Structure 1
């Protein structure tokens, strides 16, 4: 249980860090990268919170809410990781164009 609480706090800290980095950066490419990293961290936060709800509240409503949070957090993280991979491939293509 303590591990889930630590993971929740760590993912929340990473979300806040990347959100602040998004607002502070001047380049739009860096803003997009930081924004996607913040989305991954937020998805992990929601997913870990859902897991925590599953273990803490063993009522029917607690289990349903925990499952919904787990599903939403997992889907959000997966979509954000795909978006991050897309940005990485686009950046690599741009670097190839400049070097040739």
Structure 2
């Protein structure tokens, strides 16, 4: 259970880190890339929170709620990964064109 608590805390801190970095940069492409990374961290937070709550309570209700959290967290991680990979490639193309 300590492992999931640590993963929850780390993913929450990384989510806040990426959201703050979005406000600090002016480049739209970098903002979209950081937003994709933030979505990955938010998805992992929700995912691990769902696992942790089921392991803590071990009831049917917490199982159903945990499954919903797993699905929502997995979707956030998937779409965040796709988004960050796409904008990373676009950023590399932009850098290659400017050089």
- TM-score, with length taken from structure 1: 0.90
Partner of 1:97: 97
Between 1 and 2, higher relative CO (CA 8 Å, sep ≥ 6) is seen in 2
- 10-19 vs 53-62, which moves further: 53-62
Indicate the residue corresponding to 2:45 in structure 1: 45
Gaps of 5+ in 2: none
Report the CA distance between 1:77 and its aligned residue.
0.2
TM-score by length of structure 2 reads 0.91
Where does residue 14 of structure 2 map in the other structure? 14
Whether contact under 8 Å (2:37, 2:84) holds in the other structure is: yes
Comparing 90-99 with 32-41, greater Cα deviation is found at: 90-99
Deviation for aligned residue 1:55: 0.6
RMSD: 1.2
Could you list the runs of 4 or more consecutive aligned residues of structure 1 that deviate by over 4 angstroms after TM superposition?
Answer: none
Structure 2 contact 11–45 (Cα < 8 Å) conserved: yes
Q: Within 5 A, what are the aligned runs for 1:30-41?
A: 30-41=30-41
Instruction: Specify the SS of the correspondent of 2:26.
Output: coil
Deviation at 1:26, TM superposition (A): 1.8
Residue 10 of structure 1: CA displacement? 0.4
1:61 aligns with 2:76: no
Matched residue SS, 1:70: helix
Question: How many Å separate the matches in 2 of 1:15 and 1:65?
Answer: 22
